[in-house]
A and B are shown apart, each in its own frame.
Chain A
Amino acid sequence: FLLVFYPPSQTSLQVTGSRWRSSAALMSPHHTSASLESKNWEKRNRKVFPPQLPDEIRRPAEIHHSRRQIKYSKDKMWYLAKMIRGMSIDQAIAQLEFNDKKGAKIMKEVLLEAQEMAVKHHNVEYKSNLYVAESFSGKGMYLKRIRYHGRGMFGIMDKVYCNYFVKLVEGSPPKAEEKTSFDQAKEYVQSLKNRTIIHSL
């Protein structure tokens, strides 16, 4: 009889709790880079810059924070992440407080944690003087389950998890440049005028 079975590789059916991949001999053949264990986003907080010269413009403080394995869909989280991009932290927290989605509550916790981290460890003076520079969601490690259909058929259901990443920068949020239609038209005409004919006399 026909049996098309999803091959259970070591990594795909791994439960999130067991991460015992320390020795090289146990590396799975599917992932050659250290993508499963590396937490690059958190490592960005450890980056140290050389001391600034007195006449250099002060570099604004940057705080990277994330939460992993949130029981929510990355696509649904993306809408919330897109909404708060570029907002000041107070405005972002206010919007998330009155949003009815499940991810909004989690995202608000993450932002508050990041704000506290900023004041305590990253030398930020005023906790309101932060804005959301980057905010995005990624896929976490999924669990697989069987979904029973009729007639003995089955499908494989994914129990989705997502990761959420946010970068706060000190300062007021940058203003989005408003281009008038006249300016856009002028730019278009200029781009047409800038064209050159190659191999001409």
Chain B
Amino acid sequence: KPLPTFQPSHLSLSLSTLTDLIGSAVIRWRGDMFSFVSPCAAPALAVTGPGLLPQPDQEDGLEEQPPGLFDGFLWMAAPKKRRTIEVNRTRRRADSKLLKVKNNIEPCPECGHLKQKHILCGFCYAKVCKETSMIRQQIKAAEGGPLRAPTVETVVLYEGETPSEQDKDKRIVERSRKRPAWFS
């Protein structure tokens, strides 16, 4: 008749597995948080399995340990060993992780700043944005409030320009500067 054995080791093991899970950087602050860790520590059979004959005085119905605690093979994946700095370096400095040198940079023919081939030149776009905002300020001053846009087209005229035949019915926005070279 096999002797019933205590299994108090499951107490300390669950604590250590929990602290391992949360990580070494996390620090325990209150020790009374883990009150669930002390179930009944009554004697239980050390060996369980399908090949056992039914014993008359076994009490495994009361303390059925959860099978996945450390018997199962897939409790929680954890690294077995610390990855050395050499291993880490080869992974971090692999050719796929290094930055690629771009070969689509060329100078803008208008201003000479650098631009990417498939993207507008940043400097030229900025200068257009600036002039557009000045025009919009003029329009805002002319309208004087929201939702007062006229139902006709708008034409922008610079210094010394007169409205042509096509601009008869359009709203005219005056800008007090010379026409920029890029605004045809």
A156 to B23 Cα, complex, angstroms? 12
Please tell me if the beta carbons of A155 and B26 are within 8 angstroms of each other in the complex: yes
Contact with B along A142-170 (1 / 0, CB 8 A): 00000001011111100000000000000
B102-124 near A? 1/0 per residue, CB < 8 Å: 10010000000010100000000
Bound Cα distance A153, B29 (Å): 6
Cross-chain contact A82 with B31 (CB below 8 angstroms): no
Task: Give the residue of B22, B27, B101 whose beta carbon is less than 8 angstroms from that of A83.
Answer: B101
Q: Which of A4, A80, A94, A95 contacts B27 (CB 8 A)?
A: A4
Whether A1 sits at the interface, judged by CB under 8 Å, is yes
Contact of A95 (CB < 8 Å), options: B22, B30, B105: B105
* Shortest Cβ distance from B106 into A: residue: A94
Report A-chain residues with C-beta under 8 Å of the C-beta of B25: 155-156
Contact present for A152 and B33 (CB under 8 Å): yes
User: A79: which of B27, B32, B98 is its contact (CB, 8 Å)?
Assistant: B98
Asked if B3 is an interface residue, CB under 8 A from chain A, the answer is no
Whether B28 sits at the interface, judged by CB under 8 Å, is: yes
A residues less than 8 Å from B28 (CB atoms): 2-4, 153
Kindly state the separation between the CA atoms of A156 and B29 in the bound complex, as whole angstroms.
13
Q: A98-B116, A149-B26, A154-B26 are in contact. Are A82 and B99 (CB under 8 A)?
A: yes
Q: B101 contacts A153, CB within 8 Å?
A: no
Query: Would B33 and A155 count as touching, CB distance under 8 A?
Result: no
Cβ-based interface call for B140 (8 A): no
A116 CB contacts on chain B under 8 angstroms:
none
**Quick check: B92 and A149 within 8 Å, CB to CB?**
no
Q: Are A152 and B101 in contact (CB under 8 A)?
A: no
Residues of chain B within 8 A (CB-CB) of A75 are: 92
Cross-interface CB contact of B31 among A2, A79, A95, cutoff 8 Å: A2
B31 CB contacts on chain A under 8 angstroms = 1-2
Task: Write the residues of chain B forming the contact surface with A, with a CB cutoff of 8 angstroms.
Answer: 22-23, 25-33, 92-93, 97-99, 101-102, 105, 114, 116
Give 10 nearest A-B pairs by CB, closest first.
A1-B31, A153-B26, A83-B99, A155-B25, A152-B29, A2-B28, A94-B105, A4-B27, A2-B31, A79-B99
